Structure 1
């Protein structure tokens, strides 16, 4: 992230979105929520993304870097993975835990990506879109399209709970988060299941220029949109 972009982000914290600043706690909660199947889910998402050896991949909202490291293993030494996250704590944690020379991390939100046009073969953004401010999501999708090469692939994923238990867990977690961030006092009463439904981005992806936009369910809890530039 450039100095000017960093200064702008610091001056407008509300426009960055929800920051997760405790990497270890996040990894513990994610593992518990995934019932210990996080690695299997990551492997399935990577397979569906079409990532291949030698590819250059941008992982937006990389968090503590687990998914980015798995991507780096997939692309091999001839490829490269760039993990991007707006949380300094996450970027520092991911960097400290990564030994793969083809994987590195940078600080910055999805809506101000400054990489050149057509510089990536694949862009991934998993369990992140609902963290980006509503007013900034169109800009984020536009950047994702811009940095992909023609024919490049985008994978967007978020929670897609099924059954009786998981939807209740999601609603409870949302109420807790709203209390912690003050959203409940501001009168925000959006159904959390609708807010995380990745299918809501079909039309925005089409407007950004993506084609062949397909929705898939990845058990046990993920919904995925796959799109091509």
Structure 2
């Protein structure tokens, strides 16, 4: 854990080029996320867990786990014989998630980044990363997908999810929020700097990158009203 803390400290020194946007206020993040998802965080996590196909006894990793909500949902799914690891570059998020998960012995949290996973090859059955890819610097995203592929066992599943708003009001809200957030970063690849912020967070843009990383099937699912999901399977 000491090494992970040192990694996080170094990442804070140049977050834009190394890990992208850090979210360091768990409570504020939870409020914003709940509002944007219209209070449906628990329902969404249940659907995401279902889409992973996670089964009792399996090992899962949630990358960019934030305050740990999806980790806890996955831990319930895999049961006491399984295990879930939550990874996030923000030490504040990891401390918050750890403090609220002490009663669940089948999950734990550690500081780390998607593009440098400290896990053995072919060691997990499920990898999830939700509302995270657009936070990773553009130049690091291929490396992140390669790491996700590396740690999955043959037949393992990767679930990526991001904002996919429907209707008229939600897309307008996303564009407004993205442009406001862009004022806080000079990263030209940040969503708010794009001609259309929605294209920057559309998870479907990673279909070809996933195939290039070595995944076989790549399926898209829209979960109304705000989420798009890709599930990719590593060939057995």
TM class by shorter chain equals over 0.9
Looking at structure 2, the residues matched to 49 and 198 of structure 1 have their Cα atoms a distance apart, in angstroms, of 16
Looking at structure 2, the residues matched to 129 and 181 of structure 1 have their Cα atoms a distance apart, in angstroms, of 16
Residue 147 (1) aligns with residue 146 (2): no
Structure 2 match to 1:3: 3
Cα 1:87–1:110 shift into 2, 3 Å? same
SS of the aligned residue for 2:184 comes to helix
5 Å matches for 1:20-59? 20-59=23-62
CA deviations over 1:161-198 (Å, ceiling 9, x no partner): 111000111011111111123458x9933421001100
Once the two structures are TM-superposed, the CA of residue 221 in structure 1 deviates from its matched residue by: 1.1
Once the two structures are TM-superposed, the CA of residue 135 in structure 1 deviates from its matched residue by: 0.2
Residue 16 (1) aligns with residue 2 (2): no
1:204 corresponds, among 195, 204, 209, to: 209
| Structure 2: segments with no counterpart, 5+ residues | none
5 Å matches for 1:1-229? 3=3, 6=7, 9-10=11-12, 12-14=14-16, 15-98=18-101, 99-183=103-187, 188-229=193-234
**Pairs aligned (count):** 228
SS of the aligned residue for 1:112 comes to coil
Give the alignment's Cα RMSD to 1 decimal. Answer: 1.9
CA deviations over 1:45-104 (Å, ceiling 9, x no partner): 100110111110000000000110111011100000000000111001000111200110
Looking at structure 1, the residues matched to 2 and 52 of structure 2 have their Cα atoms a distance apart, in angstroms, of 29
Looking at structure 2, the residues matched to 76 and 220 of structure 1 have their Cα atoms a distance apart, in angstroms, of 29
SS of the aligned residue for 1:122 comes to strand
Once the two structures are TM-superposed, the CA of residue 12 in structure 1 deviates from its matched residue by: 3.9
TM-score (norm 2): 0.91
